[in-house]
Amino acid sequence: MPMWQKDQITDHLLYECEILKSQRDILRLSVTKTEGWPTSKYILISKHYNALTRFINQIPFDNLH
């Protein structure tokens, strides 16, 4: 099954989606200053909220199927 046909669940969007690779790389660089990658969603929300918010705001929802 092509990557774009996967269900757009949170883990897929955060950790796997090829469409979001450049946005995820920016998030990962921010997180790995203090944490390992991949990190939990709890850590993303509690310690890296601003970086996570930037990631979310950059998601091209119209391009996700």
Q: State the Cα torsion 10-31-19-6 to the nearest 10°.
A: -30
Greater confidence, 9 or 23? 23
- CB contact set of 27 (below 8 Å; sequence gap of 6+): 14, 48, 51, 52, 54, 55
**Total-model pTM:** 0.83
The count of residues in the chain is 65
pLDDT at 54 > cutoff 60: yes
Residue 61's pLDDT is 81
How do the domains of the chain map onto residue ranges? 18-60
